[in-house]
Amino acid sequence: MTLAGCPGSAPGRATALAAIRAAAADLETADVDVAVRVSVTGFNTWQTSGTGKVSHRPSPAMAWDLPGMQLEPHWLYGGDNLKLILLGSTLYVNQDSLAPRDDTGGPFGHRQWQKIDLTNPQASLLALSAILDQADQYAPQRLVDMLATSDDLRRTGTETVDGTPTTRYDGTVALAGAVREPKFDRDAVRAIKDFYRTAQASQASYTVWLAANGAVRMLSVTMHSADGTLDLSEELAPLTGAIEAPPAADVETFRM
């Protein structure tokens, strides 16, 4: 990523809000590749660079490959190196703690990919939605929607992102204000709270760079607290390749 910019005039919040809301609406149907970078320093130092894919056709699908990603505690997994694939109501999870230890298999069998049917009533009883909540924290649409809740949202200038001319928008997003937004349902609010809890922060600085056609080219989030700092950035590009299930030979159905 390379940035070169100059300050620009700042029109009113209403103009900036219209641009950000249009960008968020575009992401509701846009199929994108995502390059992710996350670093946490201070309270629990770690960092990772990973990739994601988000697709909406023919049905919603999502995939994340986040080596080094540390996760909120959940009985199903622990440790690092998370891979998720969501195809409709079927979730595939590949994570270090699920890896087979020897010929007798790992804690959940002989294969590292676990196939989970989210329509199974047991899925809610086992709190498997927590896995998706974690992935959803990094979904570009969610992050752009969050910026739309900022009281000080503003256009701050024009910059070039890896050769693409963009318009930059900045704003401060307070957790207390965001979770009151009517558009965020209970699951979304839970994911948002978990995202802020990771940094022990109550507010964050958001930046979104929009290309000339209004599409999101890049976004970043920074949270500061007395315990440390969380920095997240994502670069978006049109989707390349389909989101597909893992090879059948590598998959075991999770027994509930």
- In a 13 Å sphere around the CA of 1, the CA atoms on its Cβ side amount to 16
Q: Cα separations (Å) of 147 from 51, 53, 198, 248? A: 22, 21, 18, 40
CB atoms under 10 Å from CB of 65, counted, come to 16
Percent of the chain with pLDDT over 90: 47
Q: Cα separations (Å) of 112 from 76, 122, 160, 169, 251? A: 12, 21, 42, 41, 7
Classify the phi-psi angles of 102: left when phi > 0, otherwise alpha if psi is within -120 to 50, otherwise beta: beta
For residues 23 and 135, which has the higher predicted lDDT (pLDDT)? 23
Which has the closest alpha carbon to 37: 229, 195, 231, 203?
231
For residues 11 and 22, which has the higher predicted lDDT (pLDDT)? 22
> What pLDDT sits at residue 75?
45
CA distance 190 to 229: 21
> What pLDDT sits at residue 3?
56
CA distance 162 to 58: 31
Q: How many helices (H) and strands (E) does the chain have?
A: 6, 13
CA distance 246 to 15: 44
For 25-41, what is each residue's pLDDT tens digit? 999 999 999 999 988 88
> What pLDDT sits at residue 10?
47
Average pLDDT of span 206-228: 94
For 50-75, what is each residue's pLDDT tens digit? 999 999 888 889 999 988 776 554 54
Q: Which domains does the chain have, with CATH numbers?
A: 11-253 (2.50.20.20)
